[in-house]
Amino acid sequence: MSEDRRRAVLHAIVEGYVSTSEPVGSKALAETSHLGVSSATIRNDMAALEEEGLIAQPHTSAGRIPTDAGYRRFVDQVASAALHEPHKRAITTFLSDAVDLNDVVERSVRLLSQLTRQVAVVQYPSPRESAVRRVELVRIGVDRALVVVVSADARVEQGTVGLGHDVPEDEFETAARAINDVCVGRTPSELGPALAAWLQRNSHASWAAAVVDAVVAQAKGGTVERVVFAGTSNLARAANDFETDAIGPVLDALEEQVVLLRLLHEMAGEGRDVSVRIGMENGADAFARTSIVAAGYGSQGENVSLLGALGPTRMDYPGTMAAVRAVARYLSRIVETE
């Protein structure tokens, strides 16, 4: 019983099931697949694969379909395919027209959903450590202020902060000017100490401390982590084939974002080029029947954000991995040079 052939059988089963969405039987494999053995031999191999828990049969007289573990082994053994040349061109032309960070992210997520024909998710790039260009404080109503931080790398972060109680207009104005002066030219991590020192030098009312905190927060992280997604209709198309009722929880989880973000963080830690989570591996009930293919992107080795594709476990893994990797690469290049 050649180990190599058993692997080939597993691969053939995965590929067959992915393309036809029907269980694949031993006879069909013997005919279409090019391993030169008879169906009986394949049956023996299948029995062994089933013993290992890599494939299963939905009912007694049906062919085999891969289990999560089967997909897992397949993915680990297959290198992601090369991307077709026209697709490569599509990526460059589509993304190079972007004028804006928002635009880049939005175009990327659409492109990825079209390439993979899955739901695509792109996490907003984590901000780089770059000098503050200007801090603007604008009074809103009597007890709130708007904090705007413009960084040298073209990022604009904004947020509001409560002032607690009435603050005289002129006092607010002078403090705003002073805070701006302290911040300009400093990197976010230098900001904390510098502003603390300023607070000590000028004994201000308590509201100033809150404002300072808000400024530091905006400069550091800025907007809350978030992901954008596109191509949810691909989910509906996939759900048409089999489980219609699995789509609701997935849509909910996508909107919720929090589960998805946790998963992406976990996957970021794995360090691989492209990482894949299959079915139950996700740990989340909503994604129990979906797989996620993700890759990091970003300017440095550090400081990565993630993007990926999400679809039914029965997906074209090599193709999806190739598309995800390619988009991640181009996106890295763009984020770097911007």
Partner DNA sequence: TTCTGGCACTCGCAACCTACGAGTGCTAAT
Partner DNA sequence: ATTAGCACTCGTAGGTTGCGAGTGCCAGAA
Binding site residues, DNA, CB under 7 A: 1-2, 5, 23-28, 36-41, 43-44, 46-47, 50, 57, 59-64
Residue 308 binding target from DNA, a copy of itself, none, CB below 5 to 8 Å by type: none
User: Under 8 Å CB-to-CB from 29, ≥6 apart: which residues?
Assistant: 9, 12, 13, 16, 35, 39, 42
* The binder of a copy of itself chosen from 1, 31, 85, 99 (CB under 8 A): 99
Q: Specify the DSSP element, H or E, that contains 66.
A: strand 65-66
Distance, in Å, from the CA atom of 304 to the CA atom of 297, rounded to the nearest integer, reads: 5
Query: Is residue 177 at the binding interface for a copy of itself, with CB under 8 A as the rule?
Result: no
Distance, in Å, from the CA atom of 155 to the CA atom of 157, rounded to the nearest integer, reads: 6
Q: Which is nearer to a copy of itself, 85 or 245 (CB)?
A: 245
Answer yes or no: are the C-beta atoms of 198 and 192 closer than 8 Å: no
If phi > 0 it is left, if psi is from -120 to 50 it is alpha, else beta; for residue 279 that is left
* The binder of a copy of itself chosen from 46, 167, 230, 267 (CB under 8 A): 230
Residue 35 Cβ, how far from DNA at the closest point, in Å? 9
Query: Is residue 236 at the binding interface for a copy of itself, with CB under 8 A as the rule?
Result: yes
Our CA dihedral for 137, 139, 143, 146, rounded to 10 degrees, sits at -50
Query: Is residue 182 at the binding interface for a copy of itself, with CB under 8 A as the rule?
Result: no
Query: Is residue 183 at the binding interface for a copy of itself, with CB under 8 A as the rule?
Result: no
Q: Which is nearer to DNA, 277 or 289 (CB)?
A: 289
Query: Is residue 248 at the binding interface for a copy of itself, with CB under 8 A as the rule?
Result: yes
Count of C-beta atoms within a 10 Å radius of residue 293:
29
If phi > 0 it is left, if psi is from -120 to 50 it is alpha, else beta; for residue 271 that is left
Distance, in Å, from the CA atom of 271 to the CA atom of 77, rounded to the nearest integer, reads: 18
* Tokens 């995800």, located at residue: 324
Residue 142 binding target from DNA, a copy of itself, none, CB below 5 to 8 Å by type: none
Q: Which is nearer to DNA, 49 or 132 (CB)?
A: 49
* Tokens 């801090």, located at residue: 135
* The binder of a copy of itself chosen from 77, 92, 240, 300 (CB under 8 A): 240
The phi and psi torsions of 248 (rounded to 5 degrees) equal -60, -55
Q: Which is nearer to DNA, 50 or 338 (CB)?
A: 50
Q: Which is nearer to DNA, 1 or 142 (CB)?
A: 1
Q: Which is nearer to a copy of itself, 159 or 192 (CB)?
A: 159
**What's the length of the chain?**
338
Residue 160 binding target from DNA, a copy of itself, none, CB below 5 to 8 Å by type: a copy of itself
Residue 334 Cβ, how far from a copy of itself at the closest point, in Å? 12
- 286, 287, 304: which is closest to 295 by C-alpha? 304
Distance, in Å, from the CA atom of 91 to the CA atom of 333, rounded to the nearest integer, reads: 12
Using alpha carbons, list the distances in angstroms from residue 239 to 34, 55, 171, 188, 223. Answer: 32, 22, 60, 46, 34
Q: Which is nearer to DNA, 13 or 182 (CB)?
A: 13
Residue 56 Cβ, how far from a copy of itself at the closest point, in Å? 26
Site for a copy of itself in 136-165 (CB under 8 A): 136, 138, 140-141, 146, 148, 150, 152-154, 156, 158-160
Query: Is residue 261 at the binding interface for a copy of itself, with CB under 8 A as the rule?
Result: no
The phi and psi torsions of 136 (rounded to 5 degrees) equal -120, 130
Residue 252 binding target from a copy of itself, DNA, none, CB below 5 to 8 Å by type: a copy of itself
* The binder of a copy of itself chosen from 43, 114, 249, 261 (CB under 8 A): 249
What does the binding site for a copy of itself look like in residue numbers (CB under 8 A)?
A: 99-100, 133-134, 136, 138, 140-141, 146, 148, 150, 152-154, 156, 158-160, 230-233, 235-237, 239-240, 244-245, 247-249, 251-252, 255, 337-338
